[in-house]
């Protein structure tokens, strides 16, 4: 067993601001030398979607879900003040102005810092998302994988 | 005045970058070496103080020059 401390985050939400909070905490914990896991379930899975369209075989419902959900971190809306997409544009402007990191770069940095990004396979099935549509280098698992990481964790969050 | 082994310019960077860069810079140092950090993030004082304590390092000195916060951290 490793002596490193652990941070585990469940990212359930699919909004830009909430995902940004999750990824900032994850990167901060990695800087604390923690072993960090972000478990993506339901709408949080969209943070792991590739920005480009990936042709995969899908049924009607899966196709519809795929179209209705944001394709990747950059396309997510805000949990507050979304204003039909104006909000995210404004937030991205102030992120640039204040030299903060946009969400896609936070995801990239998390991967560089060896944050374990896990996709919940059960909700992938529900939402019709396939491995090919998600980022490379991530892991796949269910509740047992998450509890396995979290049971001897020090920081655990649900966002 | 202590001699810094390395200077990290984290000016203009926002959370969580100053702490991420600090960790990376510290990894390149040896025990006893001193890292000097310049930051403008208003949270950097609390952030670095907590990070230093958790890692067992020593905050040798802190200073404020205008908008710039300066820190000298000795690696454990």
**pLDDT score for B1:** 55
Distance, CA of A59 to CA of A155 (rounded, Å): 39
How far are the Cα atoms of A11, A61, A68, A89 from residue A126, in angstroms, in the given order? 16, 10, 14, 30
Q: H-helix or E-strand containing B65?
A: strand B58-65
Enumerate the domain spans of chain A: 6-158
- Cis omega (within 30 of 0) for bond into B16: yes
Q: Is A4 on the interface with B (CB under 8 A)?
A: no
Strand duo A139-141 + A155-158: pairing: unpaired
Give the residue carrying structure tokens 């964790």. A153
Nearest to B19 among A31, A100, A101 (CB): A31
Q: Where are the beta strands (DSSP E) in chain A?
A: 6-11, 35-40, 116-120, 139-141, 155-158
Task: Quickly state the pLDDT bin for A2 (edges 50, 70, 90).
Answer: low
**pLDDT score for A18:** 98
Question: For B36-56, what is the mean pLDDT?
Answer: 94
Q: Is B12 on the interface with A (CB under 8 A)?
A: yes
**pLDDT score for A28:** 97
Q: What is the maximum alpha-carbon separation in chain A?
A: 48
**pLDDT higher than threshold 90 for residue A3:** no
Question: Cα-atom radius of gyration of chain B, to the nearest Å?
Answer: 11
Put simply, the answer to whether A101 touches B12 (Cβ < 8 Å) is no
Distance, CA of A71 to CA of A51 (rounded, Å): 5
Put simply, the answer to whether B22 touches A27 (Cβ < 8 Å) is no
ipTM score for this prediction: 0.82
Domains of chain B, first to last = 6-74 (3.30.110.40)
Q: Which fold has domain A6-158?
A: Hypothetical Protein Ychn; Chain: A, (3.40.1260)
Helices (runs of H) and strands (runs of E) counted in chain A? 6, 5
Distance, CA of B9 to CA of B39 (rounded, Å): 7
- Positive or negative, the CA dihedral A40, A44, A47, A49 is positive
Distance, CA of A141 to CA of A117 (rounded, Å): 10
Among candidate residues A68, A76, A73, A53, the one with its CA nearest the CA of residue A130:
A53
Q: Is A130 helix (H, G, I), strand (E, B) or coil?
A: coil
| pLDDT tens digits for range B2-38 | 689 999 999 999 999 999 999 999 999 999 999 999 9
Residue B73: phi, psi to the nearest 5? -115, 130
Interface of A with B in 116-155 (CB under 8 A): none
**pLDDT score for B50:** 92
**pLDDT score for B3:** 85
Nearest to B13 among A33, A99, A113 (CB): A99
Question: Cα-atom radius of gyration of chain A, to the nearest Å?
Answer: 16
| pLDDT tens digits for range A62-112 | 999 999 999 999 999 999 999 999 999 999 999 999 999 999 999 999 999
Q: Which of B12, B13, B20, B48 to mutate to test the interface with A (most CBs of A within 10 A)?
A: B20
């Amino acid at each position: 067993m490793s002596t490193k401390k652990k941070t585990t985050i469940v990212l359930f939400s699919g909004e830009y601001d909430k995902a940004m909070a999750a990824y900032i905490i994850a990167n901060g914990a990695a800087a604390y030398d923690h072993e960090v896991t972000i478990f993506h379930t339901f709408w949080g899975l969209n943070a792991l979607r590739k920005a480009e369209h990936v042709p995969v075989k899908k049924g009607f419902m899966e196709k519809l879900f795929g179209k209705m959900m944001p394709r990747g971190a950059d396309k997510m809306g805000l949990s507050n003040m979304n204003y039909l997409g104006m909000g995210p544009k404004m937030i991205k402007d102030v992120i640039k102005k204040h030299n903060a990191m946009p969400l896609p770069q936070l995801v990239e940095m998390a991967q560089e810092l060896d944050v374990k990004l896990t996709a919940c396979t059960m909700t992938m099935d529900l939402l019709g998302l396939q491995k090919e549509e998600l980022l490379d280098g991530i892991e796949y698992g269910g509740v047992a994988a998450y509890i396995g990481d979290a049971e001897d964790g020090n920081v655990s969050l649900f966002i | 005045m202590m001699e810094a082994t390395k200077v990290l310019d984290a000016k203009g960077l926002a959370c969580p970058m100053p702490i991420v860069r600090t960790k990376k810079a510290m990894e390149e140092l040896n025990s006893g070496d001193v890292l000097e950090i310049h930051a403008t993030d208003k949270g950097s004082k609390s952030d670095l103080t907590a990070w230093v304590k958790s890692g067992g390092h020593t905050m040798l000195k802190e200073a404020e020059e205008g908008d710039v916060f300066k820190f000298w951290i000795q690696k454990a």
